Amino acid sequence: MKRNVLFIFALLWTGMTFGQHTLTYISYAKDVVDGDTTHTCITEQKGCLKIEQPDNKVVHPIPGYAESITYVNYLQDSVFTLLQHPDESYYSASELNNNDVVFSEEGEEKLLGYPCKKYKTSINSNTIEVWMTERPGFDATPMPSLGNLKGVMVRCMRNGIYITDLKKIAKDRKKPTPLIPSNKGKRLSPREMSQLRKDKLVMRIPIFHDEKIHFSDYEAITGEIPFDTTLHFSHGTVILKRVHLPQLPEHYQLFAEIHQRSNGDAYDRSASVFVIPTEAKKSFLQGLMEGTQALPVFVGSDGQEYQGIKAENDYLPPVELVRFFTSFGAGHFNDRVKIDGLTWTDENYYKQEVSELRNLLQGDVLIGAFIGNYDKGGHILSLDLLAYPGDYEWDEQPCRQHSLPLFNTCNVLEMSGQNYGRLFATDTLEVTFELPEDAVNPRLRYLSTGHGGWGNGDEFNPKENVLSIDGEKRFTHTPWRCDCATFRDQNPVSGNFWNGVSSSDYSRSGWCPGTATNPIWFDLSGLKPGKHTLRVAIPQGKDEGGSFSHWMVSGVLLYETNTQTEK
């Protein structure tokens, strides 16, 4: 009797190749045994596999989501990957045998109740270990990219950490249907398929396209600002557009992507992409439309006026998304100078994450760009906002992130008479703000660059920024970049000196020609709810003749709320 049971048991295993089977794998999403797990389902039928990815169980998919199913045909040594969008399908095909992955047999072990052969290889400096069992009598793996190893994969580990474990094998006694569909859609190469899948998931929102920012005369703008129309202000050195942006789930990462090239201006210019908050009674928009006299004024101890630089009871300053600096003539002047070993770039490219400002990038938004210059050709600029998902599920919850603009001394209206940030020679920059009761994780997003382009100017001399809150010194920061020589190929008409150094090579106070400046984040977690006073002090250098130093600093209070409240 015992012998008959063993015989029937053997038939069950060896006969499985003539039916249809379901294999369930546990995939460790965080690469740790006790981390989040997902399930991969494999259907095996007469030498063919249908592998359904863990992300196929999406209830409310994000835009661009596509179901992805992989089919393996062991009999024809082929792998098909299908992307099924609601209105179109694509597929790629490749060989199952991966000649780039060579495994060595490491011995035999019993694992999860199965007798297994262990294999080992190295891929991109990662050690991959695989356990395969031939006991079921067919071949199956949730990772066909590793090639064709005989049997069913029981476990896969990378660098000693679990990736995938076999959970169970079940036999389906129903009449099988063909696994691989005959109509698979448009064929692409595996690389094209991978790129297409990513591209469709990324939201690209065009803001400006090849807009000229230059010194010229434009008629004054009056009345309402229309949607999706680029307007020029401040003698053409500022462009502005009103756009409507979607409210995205918080798992999206937001980036600003900027392309800029010279259209006649040869110099390294201060530039900024910014948002104009409109919640307060007054906004920076009034300064653009009516002139700097419409902005609130801070009068320094030296008697100079500084327009629209900090938050008041009825006014909020513009918020910088990205502060960047043009190079010496990239694009327009590429044919002017030839240097052996250097190929000038055709344009400057800046890309910076701005996810922390997401609450300012939804709904009706005023987005502008500024490049200070006095040239009729000026510069050409394009700006896109990119949103990268962190999950396949769409979440309709309101944004929990908040931002409060505090100060901004970047003189966007330079060509309309807005003063440079010279106040630090005689004053500190002081602003009062209120931290709400339900605020969590408060922090300050701080941007600072020094300017004054001569030997003793603050552009070329490091200066400590001191930030105090309620009279207590809390943070210090010395903006400095000593890697400017890295960007020599972006500066075709930078001055070249007798000793072989270019003017664009010089270290500077927080910036380099052709780069964007990274914001600094200061932790305010110990700050209690209520009103507080923030002061910024910088030992600004003295004027020399007609030359002067100044500082472009901007600060935004960031925090989240525990409760899901509407904007």
Using a 10 angstrom Cβ sphere, with 0-12 exposed, 13-18 middle and 19 or more buried, the burial of residue 514 is buried
CA distance 84 to 472: 59
pLDDT tens column, 126-160: 999 999 999 999 999 999 989 989 999 999 999 99
Ordered structural domains, the chain, with CATH: 2-197 (2.50.20), 202-561 (2.60.120.1570)
Alpha-carbon dihedral angle through residues 450, 452, 458, 459, given to the nearest 10 degrees: 60
Under 8 Å CB-to-CB from 78, ≥6 apart: which residues? Answer: 72, 93, 94, 95, 96
Q: What is the pTM of this model?
A: 0.89
**Low-confidence residues of the chain: pLDDT under 70:** 1-19, 29-36, 54-56, 563-567
Spell 286-325 as b/e; 16+ CB within 10 A means b. Answer: bbbbebbebbbebebeeeeebbbbbbbeebbbbbbbbbbb
Nearest to 323 by CA among 557, 475, 520, 462: 520
* Predicted local distance difference test score (pLDDT) of residue 15: 40
Residue type, 363: G
Cα-based angle 426, 447, 556 (whole degrees, multiple of 5): 95
Six token digits for residue 60: 């409310």
Sign of CA pseudo-dihedral 156, 160, 161, 165: positive
* Predicted local distance difference test score (pLDDT) of residue 565: 43
CA distance 53 to 38: 9
Contact between 132 and 149 (Cβ < 8 Å):
yes
CA distance 354 to 445: 11
CA-to-CA dists, residue 106 to 117, 121, 208, 216, 552, angstroms: 7, 10, 58, 74, 62
